[in-house]
Amino acid sequence: MKAIIKYAFPLVLLFTGIQVSSSAETEPALIADKAVKSLLLDVEMLESGRLVTVGERGHILLSDDQGIEWRQVPVPTREQLTAVDFLDDKRGIAVGFSQTILMTNDGGESWQLTHHEESFEQPALFDVQFINGDKIVAVGSYGLYLESSDGGETWEAQEVEGLADYYGFFSHFYSIQKVTDDYWVMAGEKFIDGVDEDGFETSSALAAETRDGGETWQKLPTPYDGSFFGIEVDDKGYLYVYGLRGNLYISKDAGQSWQGQFLSTASGFHDMAILDENRWVLVGTGGVLVYKTLTSTDIKKRKDLKGRAAVVAVDEDTLVVVGDGGVERLSLSQQ
Partner 1 sequence: MTKNKLESIVSKVFFSKRALWISLFAVFTAVMVYFVTQLRVDASFEKNIPLKHEYMQTYIEYQDQFGGANRVLVALEDTSGNIFNASFFEALKETTNRVAGIAGVNQPQVESLFTPNTRYIEASEQGLEGGPVIPARFDGSERALKQVEENILKAGIVGRLVSNEFESAMVSAQLLSEYNPTDVEVTGENGEQMVQTDFVRVAHDLEKIRTDIEAKYPNVEVHIIGFSKMIGDVSDAAGGVIVFFLIALAITALLVYWYSRSIKLTALPILTSIIAVVWQLGLLTALGYGIDPMSILVPFLIFAIGVSHGVQMINGVQHNVAHGMKTYNAAIAACAALIVPGGIALLSDTVGFLTLQLIEIDIIRELAVTASIGVAVLILTNLLLLPLLLSYTHFSDKFVQSVRDREHAREKWWKKIAGFARKPASTIIIIVSLLLGIIGYWQSLNMKVGDLQSGAPALRQDSTYNLDNKYITDTYAIGTDVIYVLAKTKTDGCTYYDIMNNIDQFQWEMNNVKGVQSTISLPQVAKVVNGMLSEGNLKWKMLPKDEAVLVQSISRVETSTGLLNSDCSVMPVMIFLDDHKAETIERLVSAVKDFRANKAHEEVEYLLATGPVGVMAATNEAVSAAQIPMMIWVYLAVTLLCLISFRSVRGTICVILPLVVVSFLAQALMTWLQIGLTVATLPVIALGVGIGVDYGIYIFSRMVGFIRSGMSVADAYFETLKLTGNAVLFTGLTLAIGVSTWLMSALQFQADMGIMLTFMFLVNMLGAIILLPALAALLYRR
Kindly tell me the burial class for residue 12, based on how many C-beta atoms sit within 10 Å of its own C-beta (0-12, 13-18, 19 or more): middle
Inter-CA distances, 60 with 25, 78, 106, 121, 136, Å = 16, 10, 14, 26, 20
Cα 144 from Cα 134, distance rounded (Å): 20
Q: Which of 155, 232, 221, 140 is nearest to 188 (CA)?
A: 140
Write the interaction track for partner 1 spanning residues 231-270; mark x where CB under 8 A is met and - where it is not.
Answer: -------------xx----------------------x-x
**Of positions 106, 134, 161, 225, contacts partner 1 by CB under 8 A:** 225
Inter-CA distances, 194 with 163, 170, 223, 229, Å = 13, 14, 15, 22
Write the interaction track for partner 1 spanning residues 104-143; mark x where CB under 8 A is met and - where it is not.
Answer: --------------x-x--xx-x-----------------
Write the interaction track for partner 1 spanning residues 75-94; mark x where CB under 8 A is met and - where it is not.
Answer: ---x-x-x------------
CB atoms under 10 Å from CB of 151, counted, come to: 18
Interface size with partner 1, residues (CB under 8 A): 46
When the beta carbons of 86 and 174 are compared against partner 1, the nearer one is 174
Q: How many distinct helices (H) and strands (E) make up the chain?
A: 1, 27
Chain mean position to CA 186: 11
Our finding on whether 58 is near partner 1 (CB under 8 A) is no
Q: Which of residues 145-204 bind partner 1 (CB under 8 A)?
A: 174, 189
Which stretch in 62-70, 192-200, 292-300, 304-312 sits in contact with partner 1 by CB under 8 A? 304-312
Cα 81 from Cα 125, distance rounded (Å): 8
Our finding on whether 39 is near partner 1 (CB under 8 A) is yes
Our finding on whether 324 is near partner 1 (CB under 8 A) is yes
The DSSP code sequence of 106-118 is STTSS-EEEE---
* Interface with partner 1 (CB under 8 A): 12, 15-16, 18-24, 30, 32-34, 39, 41, 56-57, 78, 80, 82, 97-98, 118, 120, 123-124, 126, 174, 189, 225-227, 229, 244-245, 268, 270, 285-286, 304-305, 307, 309, 323-324
